[in-house]
Amino acid sequence: MGVEPEWTDAGRVESVEPIPLDELDRPRIDVTTRVSGLFRDAFPQAASVVHDAVDAVVDLDEPHEMNYVKKHVEKEAAELEAAGVDSPEKAAKHRVFTTRPGGYGAGTNKAVDEGNWDDRGDLADVYVQWGGYALGSRGKTTEAHDAFERRLGNVEATVKIEDTAEQDEFDSSDWYAFHGGFITAVAETAGEEPASYVGDSSDPDNVDVYTNEEKVRKAMRARVLNPAWLDSMEEHGYKGAGDLSSTVDVVLGWDATTGVVSDTLWESVAERYAFDADRQEWLRDVNPWALESITDTLLEAIDRDLWDADDATADRLRDINLTVDGDIEAQAAADPTGVTSDDD
């Protein structure tokens, strides 16, 4: 947006100041942000800085071709006023969105985990429903689903910043829930895929920018499919097996929301997580429920046309799934007081 923060002596952002166009040397770019519930609660003042930036640049006497925030707010406010919407300029200025007060997460991962979706449109609806609350000055939150959809419909590129090398895109479902969900919602609302980027600032002296597809596939090859990492999980027994199962769930989530997991990558996941004889034997021994879940997820990827696997591969996965399911039933029958599922 072409603004810079004004700091207090205590090191906090007090307000923002527009950078003059001749110094900025580019147009002011319109930005829509989706912040987490945790960030909303912990840093309400910081989260509202973008809202303050909109106020600061909309009133500037600048041509629309150099100030897209002003252009879009004025155009949208006129349309909302014509439609009889109350406080049209206020509604047109919303640029910071979060979950409802007391709510956390993006929702997309909940739908994927529970299988409550048929296509990307369903996942987009969930993302909008969970994130359609505008965060205003001083952290005040109001319902604004219509405004959120309008903003998503005008997004041309998504960006996620990563500032740590200690986690990657497959550490939890939140990664695809937020960025993958954002990409899905933009694609479904705008009618075309946005350009999607990840800014890696884990090393401040060597900042890299990847496309989301590059970053996800890099993480898959560096860790998810890394034999050394896979072998290391055996040191953690039951928990390590469960983590492998969760990792495959996240692979499904990324493909469901963004389509970035190629058939070749799916084949590699199946080969190393389900078909590898030594790993399969270990999973059966320490946590058969994890192996059952892994094969369930791989079969779901095939059933949902995320993975165009051949019939022989699908049959092989079904055989493993049925066999381990029988093992679990036999174990339960032999010890009816024992653990009967990975969720118990």
At 337 the pLDDT is 66
Task: Report pLDDT digits (tens) over 298-341.
Answer: 999 999 999 999 999 999 999 999 999 998 998 888 876 655 55
Cα angle: 246, vertex 131, 211; to 5 degrees: 60
| Number of CB atoms found within 10 A of residue 158's CB | 23
DSSP H or E segment with residue 322? helix 311-334
At 138 the pLDDT is 73
Cα torsion 84, 85, 87, 91 to 10°: value is -150
SS3 content of the chain, % helix, strand, coil (to 5): 60, 10, 30
In b/e form, how buried is each residue of 300-329, taking b as 16+ CB within 10 angstroms? bbbeeebbebeeebbebbeebbebbbeebe
| Number of CB atoms found within 10 A of residue 228's CB | 7
Segments making up each domain of the chain, as ranges: 3-211, 225-334
Task: Report pLDDT digits (tens) over 100-115.
Answer: 999 999 999 999 999 9
DSSP-H helix ranges across 132-236: 145-152, 174-175, 181-190, 212-219, 227-232
At 342 the pLDDT is 53
**HSE of 181 in the Cβ direction (CA atoms, 13 Å)?**
28
* Helix, strand or coil, per DSSP, at residue 11: coil
* pTM for this prediction: 0.91
At 341 the pLDDT is 56
At 48 the pLDDT is 75
Cα angle: 203, vertex 208, 212; to 5 degrees: 120
DSSP H or E segment with residue 340? none
At 140 the pLDDT is 85
* 270 contact partners, CB below 8 Å, separation of at least 6: 298, 309, 313, 317
At 343 the pLDDT is 53
| Segments of the chain with pLDDT less than 50 | none
What is the distance between the alpha carbons of residues 131 and 32, in angstroms, rounded to a whole number?
12
